[in-house]
Chains A and B, each alone.
Chain A
Amino acid sequence: MCATKSPIPPDTTSVPAPPAPAGIEAGVAALADSLSACADTLHERIMHAIRQRQPDQAAAATTGDLAQGITQEAAQALFDQEVLLRQAANTLYVQAAVLASAGLDSVRQELKEVTASARETLRHVAKVQALVALAADLVTLAGALAAGKPAKWPAAIRQVRDRVTALRHNGKA
């Protein structure tokens, strides 16, 4: 779990509701861990029995004693049990994942609002930057007009028009 907490109390007007109680989710995950551990133990027994295989399997089959070794069918049957345990554990992990990701809608929304507000500030600043740039272009245009050099007018006028259009676009966005 993330253990860092800010000592300065966050100055938010709305405290987000916590997701599903950590207790349930933690309980589900703990149960899944136990099932996985059981499966691990079972697997060790199966592998140990397989390694103990004697050439003569008849004795092992009748006594059912794993220490004597194990037939393939028996090993497969035991392994199927192990898979059952692991599948149950994985299903529980999915449940835990569902619990972890549920109930975070409001939290996500709050974060989205912070992001949107910051974007708005950036847009406002971009507008100011554009306005100053527009002022520069207007001065250029005025200079071109005052200098009486018609060749320079179209470019200067186009520049101003583009900036105004961009400004209007940003305003609508």
Chain B
Amino acid sequence: MILPPPSRRTLHALRCTLLLAVLAGCTTSPRLQEARDVATHAVKLGGYADLSERFRDTYTRERPYLTAAADARERAADTQRRAVFADIMAIHGAVVEYLRTLGQVAGADAFSLDAPIKALGGSIKAWPDAGLDDRHVKAFTGLARLVARAATAREQENALRQMVRDAEPHLQLLLDAMQRLLRYYDKSSDNERAIVLGMLDVEIPFAETPRDRLLAALAKAHRQARAQEYRVAGLRHTLAIKHVAAIAAAHTALLQRLEQPDNAAATEALRQASGTLRLHAEALAQPPATQLATQLEQP
């Protein structure tokens, strides 16, 4: 590839092309970034996993407070909870894997040929006696990247749109099941709290005699600690349900956005859904003390 010495006009043309290539490099598809945001804030489904485990271990927590008869009854329920746990976590696995892959497909460099083409330019520059200098090589690689970027960006968006469209109905069914499950965990936890705190509430008044003062004090302190645990658990259930609902809404909004890239309403809907999703993801990630404090501040 040996070119004759460039003329002034050729040099000028090359500089223009270079400028165009650089400008083109500044624009990345906003839809890819939006998809990345959704995937990032959705994939942290830790709430569902933790709370599923908590549900599975209900019997272990309740046990000290049960009479012999109640204990015998509860064992059957315990077996069933452990049996259903595998199915519960299988849902989690499928959803997390999908969201992780979604993030990868929408990734900034996933489809990019920038680096390899740049390296190609570098290699060509290293050719001895080729009669090429920096300007030629830069122009060549700049043009190549411009063309490649247009092609790969299109391919990436197509792949993303196809993926989101194919997944939507299945994902919605799974997310719906997850929300229902979380609600059952929450209600089960409420009953558990009533059993544990109820047992203490029924016994403590009868221990408030001078003889049993120490016992009463210990029991009351214990009750305070357990009550706090259940408060935090209840809050986590609520946050987890909101998070899953937000994922469902954001995925639907993302699909609309990808199918109607010029629709302003779709863009706005996705922006809002994505914002809500981020809020709930962040709320779930906070430590329990902060979660409680935030909750108490709200009316």
Contacts and interface: CB of A to CB of B under 8 A. Distances in A.
A25 B180 contact: yes
B184 to A, nearest CB: 5
A47 to B, nearest CB: 6
Contacts of B245: 2
Interface in A1-18: 1-2, 4-6, 8, 10-12, 15-16, 18
B165 A10 contact: yes
B285 interface: no
Contacts of A118: 101-102, 104-105, 159, 163
Contacts of A50: 202, 205
Interface string B104-126: 11000011110111011011101
A125 B112 CA distance: 9
A97 to B, nearest CB: 5
A32 B189 CA distance: 13
B64 interface: no
B105 A87 contact: no
B239 to A, nearest CB: 16
Contacts of A94: 77, 80-81, 84, 184, 188
A6 B256 contact: yes
B204 to A, nearest CB: 9
Interface string A21-65: 000010001001100100110010011001101000000000000
Nearest to B168: A10
A145 to B, nearest CB: 10
Interface residues of A, number: 77
Nearest to A146: B128
Contact of B176 (A1, A46, A51): A1
Contacts of B225: none
Given A2-B179, A90-B192, A143-B127, A102 B120 contact: no
Contacts of B175: 2
Contacts of A47: 201-202
A119 interface: yes
Which residue of B94, B105, B184, B188 has the most chain A CB atoms within 10 A of its CB atom?
B184
A79 B196 CA distance: 11
B180 A111 contact: no
Contacts of B181: 97, 100-101
A44 B38 CA distance: 46
Given A19-B173, A115-B97, A133 B126 contact: no
B191 A90 contact: yes
A164 interface: no
Interface string B146-158: 0000001001000
A91 interface: yes
A125 B95 CA distance: 24
Given A2-B245, A139-B120, A111 B202 contact: no
A83 B195 contact: yes
Given A36-B190, A80-B67, A122-B101, 12 more contacts: A8-B259, A83-B66, A87-B77, A87-B195, A89-B187, A90-B192, A98-B84, A101-B84, A102-B87, A107-B170, A108-B90, A137-B119
30 contacts: A1-B180, A36-B194, A46-B202, A51-B205, A53-B205, A75-B206, A76-B202, A79-B202, A82-B194, A83-B199, A93-B184, A93-B187, A94-B80, A96-B180, A97-B88, A100-B177, A101-B84, A101-B87, A104-B87, A107-B173, A108-B94, A110-B170, A111-B167, A114-B98, A132-B113, A133-B119, A135-B120, A136-B120, A139-B123, A143-B123
